[in-house]
Chains A and B, each alone.
Chain A
Amino acid sequence: MAPGVVCRWSAENVDLGEVIAQAERMRSGESRTATRAAVVNLVVVTAEPETAQRARSAVGGLGAHHPGRIIIVLADPDGPDRIDATIELQETDLPERHLWWEVIDLRVGGGAARHLSSVVEPLLVHDLPVAAWHMGEIPSASGLVATGAHVILGGDRPSDPDQSSLEATAALTRLRHVTDLEWLATEPWRRALALLFDPPSARRILPRIAGARVAGPPWRACLLGGWLTDRLGLAPGSVQLEAVSSETIVELAADDVLVRAASAPLGRVEARIDDERAVTVGGAERGTAALLAAALGRGGTDPAFVGALGAAARVER
C-alpha cells in the first residue's frame, strides 16, 4: 500500500450498494486510534483519466486542512454499463495527532455516467458540506452533481478563456456558489494592490489611471484584466493583456506615476507606486492543492469575481 494508506478495498463491476456499505464499514470499523475527522465531501468529476490522476495527487495534500470524504468519479457515458470502485482510508500525520479520511475512486460507465448525481449522493457523508470540483471543462447546468454543492472550477483547464467559457462561468455563478482556482491564484496581486491603496492618500492617484497592462498565464491575465476594468471603471479595451507562461505582472499607468505589482523572491508579490511606497504579500506560488484548500474555505461566490468575469466577457466580445 502507498504511504499514508491505512487500508484499501477494490472491486470491479460492483453494485453501488456494496460500495456504500464498504465505505461505511471502513469509516466506522477500524479501531479508533486516530481522529476520524471530516469537514467536507469533495467530489471530482471528469471524463479524462489524466485529469483524474492529477486530481488524486492534488487531493493528497488536502487531508490535513480539510479532512473528509473525497470521491473521484471518472465518467464514461459511452462505455459499458458498470462501476469499478477503490476505497482508501488515508492517514495524515500531524504533530501529536493522526487524522483519517477517505478517497473513493469510481469509474462509472454507461447509463449511470449520465446520472452521476444518483451515484454521488448516496456516498456523501451526511450533514457535511459538499464541494464539486470540475478541474477541466466548465460543466453545463445539467452536468452539475450533488444538489446545492459548492462548485470549484479550474486547475486543469484545456483551453484559453474565450467569450463562451467566460459566459458559461458567469452563468454558473448565477446557479451555485462558485470558486475559481485561477481567480484565487490572482489573489496575491489583488491583495497587494488593495494594501497599496489602503492609505487614503494613495487612493488619490486612482481616478487618474487611464490604462493598464497585465501579463501572465491566459486565465489569470484575463481575470485580472477584467477585475481592473471593473474595479476602476475603465473603458473596455483599456487594459492590454499579454498571455505569457511565466510570471504575472500588473501595471497601472497614470499621467505621472507607474504602479506595478509583480513577483518577488520567496513566493511573494510586491506592489509599488513608482519607487516609493511598497507592500509585499505572500502566496504567489501556491500549487493546485493549496488553491483547492483555500477554495474549500470560501463562504460564497466572490462578488469581485463576478464583476471581473462580466468585464472580461465584454472585452472578449
Chain B
Amino acid sequence: MTTGEPPPNPFAIGLEMARRAPPVVLVVFGASGDLTSRKLLPSLAAVARRQQLTDSFAVVGVARSELSDEDFRKLAADAVPDAGPEWERAVSGFRYVQGEYGEPATFDRLRQVLEEVDHDRGTQGNRVYYLATVPDQFATVACALGEHGLSRPRKGCFVRLVVEKPYGRDPQSAAALDRAVHTSFDEDQVYRIDHYLGKETVQNVLALRFANAIFEPVWNRRYVDHVQLTVAESIGVGHRGGFYETAGALRDIVQNHVMQVLGLTLLEPPATVDAQGIRDEKVKALRAVEVLSPDEVSTSVVRGQYDRGWVEGQEVAGYRQEEGVAPDSHTETFVAMRLAVDNWRWAGVPIYVRTGKRLPKRVTEVAMAFHRVPHLPFASSLARDLDANSIVVRVQPDEGITMCFGAKVPGPEFRVRTVSMDFSYGASFMEETPDAYERLLLDAMVGDPTLFIRADEVEQSWRIVAPILEAWEEGAAPLARYESGTWGPREANRLIESTGRRWRRP
C-alpha cells in the first residue's frame, strides 16, 4: 500500500503522547538579542527534549549582526548547553538572514531562505513569525512581511505572527500598531504575548474557580469585601534603566500583566475554556472596570519611586542613581490604585492593585478578602486575633492557594484566631512546571490562541490605564518616594486605610 490514507498510528494507544508542533519554520526577528538567547532558545530546546518538535522544524533568525548560518547555530547551541540530541538535530537545520528590517532586500533573502528550508526540512510552507526585536521595529517588520507576500498562507498552510510586549506605549500607538499589523495579517493570525498567561498558576485561577463547586458561589459582591492584587519585585531596574525611563510601572506591569490577571479573576464563567470563551469573558470583565476621572486619579492612584535602602540584606541604590536613569527622573517604579467594577457581580467591591520594584520580596498574588461575619457571638476580647476570611492565589514564587479562617484556640476559653490552610503546588505536584515561554511557543506553533491577547483586550486595558497616564501628565498624583525594601510610599497605606482596610503582608 503506497497510496491513499495511511493507517492511524497503532502504537500510540495508551501512551500519553505530548502535543507536538506540526511541521513549521519559526522565524525570529531579533535573533541576536537578549530575549532570544535567554528565553526563546532555551524554551525551544526544552520543547525539543520533550519530543514536541518534529524533524520538520527549523528556526530562521533575522537580525542586523553579521552572522553566518554556522554562527547562528553555534549561538543556538551555546544558549542551551547540554540540551541533548534532539536540540542538536534541530539546530543543525537553523538558518540566519542578516539584514536591516527597513531594507526590502532583507525580506527578499528571507523569502528565498524560507523556500530552501521548506525544501530541505519539509516545513510545508507553515510559518510562525516571532517579533522578538525592539518595539519600534514591530510595525516595520509586519508591513514588510505583507509587502513581500510572506504574510498570507498558501492553501492548507498557516502563517502566524507572535508579537512581544510592549504592545504600544499608549492607546494611539497601540492602535497604530494594530493598523500596521492588520495591513498584512488578519486578527486571527496575530498572537500577542503576555508571558504571565503562560504561567501555570495564573491558569490555575480558572481551575480554582471553575473546577470547584465551593469557590464560585462566594466569588462575588455578596461575600467578597475587596480584592487585592500584588505584583511585587525585589529587584531594581538593573541595566535596563534606559528602557524603564520610557516605560514606568504602569506601562511595564499594570497595562498588561495586572490587567490580564484581573480579567481572569473577575470574569464570568465561560461556556468553554477555549480561546474565544476565555477572551470574550475577559474583555467583558475589563470593559466593566470604571475609568478614573482626573480628580479620581489624584485620590485613587499613588505613584512612587524608590530611594536607596536595604533589600534582602543588601544595600541598594535609589532609582535616580541607577545606570541610564535621569538624576531628576519622574518615572514611577511603584503604583497602587483602587479600581471599581461596574457590573452585577462586582459592583461596590473595590479592587486594590499594587506593584513596584525594590519591595521587600518578589511575590505575585491575588487575594479575595471576604466580608466579616454579621455578628460575632464571642466576647470581643476573645476574637481580637480574628481577621476576615480570605482566599489567596499565590502566582509566584511559592505557587499555591491559601485559605484563612477562624478556629478555636485550644483551652478553656472560647478564644478564636485566624489560621491558614495552605495548598502548595510544589508539594502536591512534583512535575516540573514548564517555563511560560515553552507553553506559549508551543501554543503558537500548534495554533491555540487561548493564552494570547486579542486586539480588543489591549484596547480595553488601555482604556483603563491611559486616563491615569494623562492625568499624571497634567500633574495629578505627585510622585511619592519610598525607601527600597519597604512596601511602598506611605500614601499607598493611606489609600487603603482610609476605608478601614489594610494591605496584606504577602
Whether A304 pairs with B13 at a CB distance below 8 angstroms is yes
Whether B6 pairs with A39 at a CB distance below 8 angstroms is no
Whether A302 pairs with B14 at a CB distance below 8 angstroms is yes
Q: Which residues from chain A contact B14 at a C-beta distance below 8 Å? A: 190, 302-305
**Which residue of A has the minimal Cβ distance to B426?**
A97
Whether A206 pairs with B424 at a CB distance below 8 angstroms is no
User: Taking the complex as formed, is B140 at the interface, i.e. its CB lies under 8 A from any CB of chain A?
Assistant: no
User: Taking the complex as formed, is A54 at the interface, i.e. its CB lies under 8 A from any CB of chain B?
Assistant: no
In this complex, which of B6, B7, B20 has the most chain A Cβ atoms within 10 angstroms of its Cβ?
A: B6
**Which residue of A has the minimal Cβ distance to B55?**
A277
Chain A interface size range: 35 or more
Contact flags A197-211 to B (C-beta < 8 A → 1, else 0): 111110110111000
Q: Which residues from chain B contact A65 at a C-beta distance below 8 Å? A: 430
Contact flags B425-439 to A (C-beta < 8 A → 1, else 0): 011101000000000
Q: Which residues from chain A contact B20 at a C-beta distance below 8 Å? A: 198
Whether B427 pairs with A193 at a CB distance below 8 angstroms is no
Contact flags B6-45 to A (C-beta < 8 A → 1, else 0): 1111111111010010000000000000000000000000
Whether B7 pairs with A279 at a CB distance below 8 angstroms is no
Contact flags A17-45 to B (C-beta < 8 A → 1, else 0): 00000000000000000010101000000
Whether A198 pairs with B12 at a CB distance below 8 angstroms is yes
In the assembled complex, the Cα of A195 lies from the Cα of B12 at a distance in Å of 8
Q: How near does chain A come to B242, taking the closest CB pair, in angstroms?
A: 34
Q: Which residues from chain A contact B422 at a C-beta distance below 8 Å? A: 35
Whether A191 pairs with B426 at a CB distance below 8 angstroms is no
Which residues in chain A, 147-197, are within 8 Å of chain B measured between CB atoms? Answer: 187, 190-191, 193-195, 197
In the assembled complex, the Cα of A66 lies from the Cα of B427 at a distance in Å of 9
Provided the pairs A37-B424, A199-B54, A280-B85 are in contact, do residues A194 and B17 lie with their beta carbons within 8 angstroms?
yes
In the assembled complex, the Cα of A279 lies from the Cα of B427 at a distance in Å of 34
Whether A204 pairs with B1 at a CB distance below 8 angstroms is yes
Whether B6 pairs with A201 at a CB distance below 8 angstroms is yes
**Which residue of A has the minimal Cβ distance to B49?**
A282
Whether B85 pairs with A207 at a CB distance below 8 angstroms is no
Whether A195 pairs with B51 at a CB distance below 8 angstroms is yes
Which residues in chain A, 206-228, are within 8 Å of chain B measured between CB atoms? Answer: 206-208
Whether B9 pairs with A204 at a CB distance below 8 angstroms is no
User: Taking the complex as formed, is B86 at the interface, i.e. its CB lies under 8 A from any CB of chain A?
Assistant: yes
Q: Which residues from chain A contact B381 at a C-beta distance below 8 Å? A: none
**Which residue of A has the minimal Cβ distance to B4?**
A204
Whether B13 pairs with A64 at a CB distance below 8 angstroms is no
User: Taking the complex as formed, is A232 at the interface, i.e. its CB lies under 8 A from any CB of chain B?
Assistant: yes
Q: Which residues from chain A contact B13 at a C-beta distance below 8 Å? A: 231, 303-304, 307
Which residues in chain A, 39-79, are within 8 Å of chain B measured between CB atoms? Answer: 39, 64-67
User: Taking the complex as formed, is A99 at the interface, i.e. its CB lies under 8 A from any CB of chain B?
Assistant: yes
Provided the pairs A204-B1, A280-B85, A280-B86 are in contact, do residues A193 and B424 lie with their beta carbons within 8 angstroms?
no
Contact flags B394-430 to A (C-beta < 8 A → 1, else 0): 0000000000000000000000000000101011101
In this complex, which of B9, B20, B54 has the most chain A Cβ atoms within 10 angstroms of its Cβ?
A: B9
**Which residue of B has the minimal Cβ distance to A299?**
B16
**Which residue of A has the minimal Cβ distance to B430?**
A65
Whether B424 pairs with A203 at a CB distance below 8 angstroms is no
**Which residue of A has the minimal Cβ distance to B422?**
A35
**Which residue of A has the minimal Cβ distance to B424?**
A35
Q: How near does chain A come to B419, taking the closest CB pair, in angstroms?
A: 11
Q: Is the interface of B mostly helix, strand, loop or mixed?
A: loop
Q: How near does chain A come to B165, taking the closest CB pair, in angstroms?
A: 29
Q: Which residues from chain B contact A208 at a C-beta distance below 8 Å? A: 1
In the assembled complex, the Cα of A49 lies from the Cα of B11 at a distance in Å of 39
Provided the pairs A198-B20, A279-B51, A280-B85 are in contact, do residues A190 and B1 lie with their beta carbons within 8 angstroms?
no
User: Taking the complex as formed, is B212 at the interface, i.e. its CB lies under 8 A from any CB of chain A?
Assistant: no
Q: How near does chain B come to A169, taking the closest CB pair, in angstroms?
A: 16
Whether B427 pairs with A35 at a CB distance below 8 angstroms is yes
**Which residue of B has the minimal Cβ distance to A39?**
B428
User: Taking the complex as formed, is A113 at the interface, i.e. its CB lies under 8 A from any CB of chain B?
Assistant: no
User: Taking the complex as formed, is A145 at the interface, i.e. its CB lies under 8 A from any CB of chain B?
Assistant: no
In the assembled complex, the Cα of A35 lies from the Cα of B7 at a distance in Å of 50
Whether B15 pairs with A194 at a CB distance below 8 angstroms is yes
In the assembled complex, the Cα of A134 lies from the Cα of B120 at a distance in Å of 52
Whether A194 pairs with B428 at a CB distance below 8 angstroms is no
In the assembled complex, the Cα of A195 lies from the Cα of B86 at a distance in Å of 13
In this complex, which of B7, B10, B86 has the most chain A Cβ atoms within 10 angstroms of its Cβ?
A: B10
Q: Which residues from chain A contact B2 at a C-beta distance below 8 Å? A: 204
**Which residue of B has the minimal Cβ distance to A65?**
B430
Q: How near does chain A come to B1, taking the closest CB pair, in angstroms?
A: 5
Provided the pairs A39-B428, A187-B15 are in contact, do residues A203 and B51 lie with their beta carbons within 8 angstroms?
no
Whether A37 pairs with B427 at a CB distance below 8 angstroms is yes
Q: How near does chain A come to B464, taking the closest CB pair, in angstroms?
A: 36
Q: Which residues from chain B contact A307 at a C-beta distance below 8 Å? A: 13
In the assembled complex, the Cα of A64 lies from the Cα of B15 at a distance in Å of 24
Q: How near does chain B come to A53, taking the closest CB pair, in angstroms?
A: 26
User: Taking the complex as formed, is A281 at the interface, i.e. its CB lies under 8 A from any CB of chain B?
Assistant: yes
Whether B6 pairs with A281 at a CB distance below 8 angstroms is no
In the assembled complex, the Cα of A128 lies from the Cα of B360 at a distance in Å of 38
Q: Which residues from chain B contact A99 at a C-beta distance below 8 Å? A: 427
Which residues in chain B, 439-463, are within 8 Å of chain A measured between CB atoms? Answer: none
24 examples of A-B residue contacts, CB within 8 angstroms: A35-B427, A37-B424, A37-B428, A39-B428, A67-B427, A97-B424, A190-B14, A191-B15, A193-B11, A194-B11, A195-B51, A197-B9, A197-B11, A198-B12, A198-B54, A201-B6, A203-B7, A204-B2, A206-B7, A207-B7, A231-B10, A231-B13, A279-B51, A281-B51
Residues of A near any B CB (own CB < 8 A): 35, 37, 39, 64-67, 94, 97, 99, 187, 190-191, 193-195, 197-201, 203-204, 206-208, 231-232, 277, 279-281, 302-305, 307
6 tightest A-B CB contacts, nearest first: A304-B14, A37-B427, A194-B11, A203-B6, A302-B14, A231-B10
Residues of B near any A CB (own CB < 8 A): 1-2, 5-15, 17, 20, 51, 54-55, 85-86, 422, 424, 426-428, 430
